[in-house]
Amino acid sequence: MILWITIIPICNNHRGIEKHAGVHEVYVQYLKCSRCGTIYRLEDKPVMCRKKDLGRLDIIYDYEAIKEAISLDEIKKRDKNMWRYKEFLPVPDEKYIVSLGEGYTPLIKAKRLAEHLGLKNLYLKEETRNPTGSFKDRCMSVSVSMAKYFGFKRAAVASSGNAAAALAAYGARAGIEVYAFVPDFAGYGKIAQLLFYGAKVFRVKWTEAEDPTVKMMRLLAENYGFYPSPSFGPFNPYQIEGPKTIAMEIVEQLGLRVPDQVFIPTGAASLLTGVYNGFRDWNNVGWIDKYPKMVAVQPEGNHPFVRAWMERADPDKIRPWEKPPETVATGLEDTFPWDGDAGLRALYRTNGYGVVVSDPEIIEAMKLLASMEGIFAEPSGAAGLAGLIKALKEGKVDRDETIVVLVTGHGLKDPDIVKKTTGDAPTITASPEEFFKAAKEFYGVNVTG
């Protein structure tokens, strides 16, 4: 299938609401390239800008029509998954929705961790509860639903693992073949998921700064008609809509309150952009009237987005990282923040900021999440907490503020990293003496005293 996109002018008075009898209305007015400004209609099935300038096709909604059609009270009566917010998503008909029950993850008040850090109101948005263990399920539920609507049979993804695993799961449910390009150093926990879901997986050697997995995906999309479905916007504008529902859930779960700060692990800045857009949508329909500070957290070994924020860069002129990434947070190794333009604008508009954390700080955050709140996160998933701890030390957080930290991926995604950082368990015979000895030597515990 070849991507041909027809460009149709939009009249100023066109509301852009397409009605589908017996199902629901879609409130997409049009899509607009973030770089060249070209406008596309949803029924023309656009995925990438035809001009190939790597501009993201931002989706423009009719908020006045949404306000007339739906209320918060009605949303509260719906099933607790992300599709309760269907008016804010681009899928034109419910029959195309591909879902595994993603979304409406817990917002956990972290009492022990808050006390440890000296905070009063700390919440963890627990995205590891999604079907494949990460927030990427929200992205791929929307993306695969649109692929089904468009009629694609094959999809390609560039991913460190989580986005590919999510695409493979939703592709399996929809009957769409998935071809996954992952870095050669991707953890086997993620590879195993992909293989069991039936994806065709290819490890790609990464020897230069340019991400070779993106290169392969782009070649298949542009030359062979594959549906591109990474978790960043220039190659797929639909998946970025899924994470909007994280913001909507946070507001609902806080009793229609907006938190003061939201800490977000950041790679391509797509999650950051999506979460910001969720707060934007609800501001635009008048259900809330402010934004939280958006905080981007990146690892020392790869932080082009936070570097751009530190330099107060022009959002359209972000420099890529100059070398292959070096971090335990392999899910954040995007050497170029593909959605960095929108992400930087989100930081600027909300008076947000960026934080850079070291691998030891990330590992310490993993241990704190597990030992104090019972949440097992992969390094990328725990980076947000590492960022909060550092921001506290730097005086960027008022201890009375309401803080939300996104925990984005499950620890079983990266068992190799866990083993390297925590070691293995001792082996003993069924002997009290050996038990007492090992407890003292391995864990520093004297259980005989």
Looking at the structure, tell me whether residues 222 and 309 fall in a common domain: no
Kindly report the CATH number assigned to the domain that includes residue 364: 3.40.50.1100
Q: What are the b/e assignments for 330-357, b being 16+ CB within 10 Å?
A: bbbbbbbbbbbbbbbebbeebebbbbbb
- Domain presence at residue 80: yes
171-180, pLDDT tens digit by residue? 999 999 999 9
Looking at the structure, tell me whether residues 116 and 78 fall in a common domain: no
- Domain presence at residue 446: no
- Domain presence at residue 17: no
Looking at the structure, tell me whether residues 194 and 318 fall in a common domain: no
Looking at the structure, tell me whether residues 249 and 123 fall in a common domain: yes
- Domain presence at residue 277: yes
Looking at the structure, tell me whether residues 164 and 277 fall in a common domain: no
Listed residues 183, 209, 239: the one ending a domain: 239
Looking at the structure, tell me whether residues 218 and 248 fall in a common domain: no
- Does the structure show a pLDDT above 90 at 5? no
What's the domain count of the chain?
2
- Within 285-358, where are the H helices? 304-310, 340-349
Q: Which of 12-21, 109-118, 150-159 has the lowest mean pLDDT?
A: 12-21
267 DSSP 8-state letter: S
Looking at the structure, tell me whether residues 294 and 174 fall in a common domain: no
Q: What are the b/e assignments for 144-182, b being 16+ CB within 10 Å?
A: bbbbbbeebebbbbbbbbbbbbbbbbbbbbbebbbbbbb
- Domain presence at residue 426: no
Listed residues 204, 239, 274: the one ending a domain: 239
Neighbours of 420 (CB within 10 A): 11
- Could you list the residue range(s) of the whole structural domain that residue 324 is in? 107-133+243-413
- Domain presence at residue 215: yes
Listed residues 189, 222, 239: the one ending a domain: 239
Looking at the structure, tell me whether residues 262 and 383 fall in a common domain: yes
- Domain presence at residue 6: no
235-262, pLDDT tens digit by residue? 999 999 999 999 999 999 999 999 999 9
Looking at the structure, tell me whether residues 53 and 120 fall in a common domain: no
User: How far apart are alpha carbons 186 and 165 in whole angstroms?
Assistant: 12
325-356, pLDDT tens digit by residue? 899 998 898 889 999 999 999 999 999 999 99
Looking at the structure, tell me whether residues 121 and 149 fall in a common domain: no
Looking at the structure, tell me whether residues 261 and 210 fall in a common domain: no
Looking at the structure, tell me whether residues 293 and 354 fall in a common domain: yes
- Domain presence at residue 442: no
pLDDT band at 21 (very low <50, low <70, confident <90, very high): very low
290-310, pLDDT tens digit by residue? 999 999 999 999 999 999 999
162 DSSP 8-state letter: H
Task: Find out whether 216 and 202 touch, Cβ atoms under 8 Å.
Answer: yes
Residue among 278, 250, 275 nearest 264 (CA): 275
118-172, pLDDT tens digit by residue? 999 999 999 999 999 999 999 999 999 999 999 999 999 998 778 999 999 999 9
